[in-house]
């Protein structure tokens, strides 16, 4: 057995972030990353990066690259989806820098993935292996593990980081806690060239539209040249194969809305040339460190704590997971090979409460965003009165907590 090798399952944001963090922390580490796809790539969707996530990228030396491809919104506006009234606004830009020491960024997911992949390759020393679909996981007596892939290859290792997403095959074997459950919410996603929009809709900001049983969010990506659009509605699981990404017809979106959107929101939605449908699945909230680590195996990102999109922190929490693990490894110093079970246990103890809190806050936001009746009236009144105090999340954006 390779007594020192660390394996990473999954080449998405969590996996590449972990590879980069650990390579920077321990340049001599034996590290291999296994990705099931034929190529390293990401889907065409946007990602919001709060100051907590940007701070992680800065620590990895990636802020320069981020500034070339991301947008940096000047504010976050919350509006009524039917009447268009401004319910509240939070200045971003300089305020985020001043208060949290890092900006608020929005980026195309593929651009963030490319940024991380290029950084991992530039660091060198990490084996990047494609077409490696996870098979059986065996924890060996004493120490270490053996991971088999479906092509028959065997990967002995000292430890494994499972970054293989919501439907993690590693989690399935490690925790045996069933499959993800449909949330009752469906996301429609699309992207628009800003040039296709009238000038008054080319706003360099995050705009959230709240309606009964739905909400929509749009924000700039790709250095402000494109607008990412997401509409989340409540409804049944679509017919067809269960998955996370399907082509969608505009008529299905309009039918699902259940309301007549304000003219500005209507114009934005009509301008989207191609919609993708993402049924939103989830798992119970993390409740203890053992939900993230068992012996020499750790779950990171969506494999550990899938986030509902109502706090825009799924990518950020995956990056924080990777950063925290890198910091713990760096603190150990050089010399002897890491005691991976002990190190991973310390990492899980440092992470699980924050991840559970973000999961809970995200779920609560979904209820508030989609409220009707008296709850909606109370939400709107409170937001008009308190504005930034309700929209800002200091406990979140001031992180990640020191390690």
The answer to whether residue 3 scores a pLDDT higher than 90 is no
Instruction: Look up 104 and say whether it is catalytic.
Output: no
Contacts of 79 (CB under 8 A, 6+ apart): 85, 86, 87, 207, 208, 209, 210, 262, 265
The pTM of the full predicted model, rounded to 2 decimals, is 0.96
DSSP string, 268-333: HHHH-S-EEEEEEEE-PPP-SGGGTEETTEEE-GGGT----TTSS-HHHHHHHHHHHHHHHHHHH-
Average pLDDT over every residue of 76-103: 96
Q: Which of 188, 219, 310, 397 is catalytic?
A: 219
What is the pLDDT at residue 4?
A: 79
Q: What angle do CA 230, 211, 315 make, to 5 degrees?
A: 35
Backbone φ and ψ for 351, nearest 5 degrees, come out as: -110, -30
What is the pLDDT at residue 31?
A: 98
The answer to whether residue 246 scores a pLDDT higher than 90 is no
Average pLDDT over every residue of 381-394: 95
What is the pLDDT at residue 245?
A: 72
Of all residues in the chain, what percent carry a pLDDT higher than 70? 98
What is the pLDDT at residue 42?
A: 79
Average pLDDT over every residue of 289-307: 98
What is the pLDDT at residue 319?
A: 99
Radius of gyration of the chain (CA): 21
The answer to whether residue 259 scores a pLDDT higher than 90 is no
Q: Which domains does the chain have, with CATH numbers?
A: 6-179+284-397 (3.50.50.60)
What is the pLDDT at residue 238?
A: 77
**How does pLDDT run across 37-50, given as a tens digit for each residue?**
999 987 778 999 99
Average pLDDT over every residue of 3-22: 95
What is the pLDDT at residue 148?
A: 97
**How does pLDDT run across 111-139, given as a tens digit for each residue?**
999 999 999 999 999 999 999 999 999 99
């Amino acid at each position: 057995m390779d007594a020192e090798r660390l394996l990473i399952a999954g080449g998405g944001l969590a996996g590449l972030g972990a590879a980069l963090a650990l390579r920077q922390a321990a340049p001599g580490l034996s590290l291999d990353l296994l990705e099931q796809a034929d190529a390293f790539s990401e889907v065409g969707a946007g990602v919001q990066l709060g100051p907590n996530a940007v701070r992680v990228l800065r620590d990895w030396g990636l802020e320069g690259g981020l500034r070339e491809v991301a947008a940096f919104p000047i504010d976050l506006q919350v509006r009524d989806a039917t009447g268009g009234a401004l319910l509240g606004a939070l200045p971003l830009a300089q305020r985020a820098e001043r208060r949290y020491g890092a900006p608020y960024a929005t980026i195309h997911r593929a651009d963030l993935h490319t940024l991380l992949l290029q950084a991992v390759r530039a660091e060198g020393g990490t084996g990047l292996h494609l077409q490696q679909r996870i098979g059986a996981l065996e924890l060996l007596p004493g120490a270490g593990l053996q991971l088999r892939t479906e092509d028959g290859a065997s990967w002995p290792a000292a430890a494994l980081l499972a970054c293989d997403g919501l439907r993690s095959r590693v989690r399935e074997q490690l925790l045996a806690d069933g499959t993800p459950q449909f949330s009752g919410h469906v996301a429609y996603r699309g992207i628009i060239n800003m040039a296709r929009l009238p000038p008054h809709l080319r706003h360099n900001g995050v705009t959230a539209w709240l309606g009964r049983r739905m909400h929509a969010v749009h924000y700039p990506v790709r250095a402000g040249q494109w607008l990412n659009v997401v509409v989340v509605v409540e409804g049944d699981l679509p017919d067809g194969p269960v998955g996370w990404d399907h082509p969608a017809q505009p008529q299905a979106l309009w039918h699902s809305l259940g309301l007549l959107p304000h003219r500005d929101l209507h114009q934005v939605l009509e301008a989207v040339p191609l919609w993708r449908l993402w049924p939103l699945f989830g798992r119970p909230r993390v409740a203890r460190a053992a939900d993230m680590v068992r012996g020499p195996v750790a779950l990171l990102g969506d494999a550990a704590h899938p986030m509902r999109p109502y706090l825009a922190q799924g990518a950020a929490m995956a990056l924080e997971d990777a950063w925290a693990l890198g910091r713990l490894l760096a603190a150990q110093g050089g010399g002897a090979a890491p005691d991976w079970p002990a190190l991973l246990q310390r990492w899980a103890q440092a992470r699980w409460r924050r991840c559970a809190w973000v999961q809970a806050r995200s779920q609560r936001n979904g209820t508030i965003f989609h409220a009707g009746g008296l709850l909606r009236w109370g939400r709107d009144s409170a937001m008009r009165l308190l504005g930034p105090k309700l929209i800002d999340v200091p406990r979140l954006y001031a992180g990640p907590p020191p390690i």
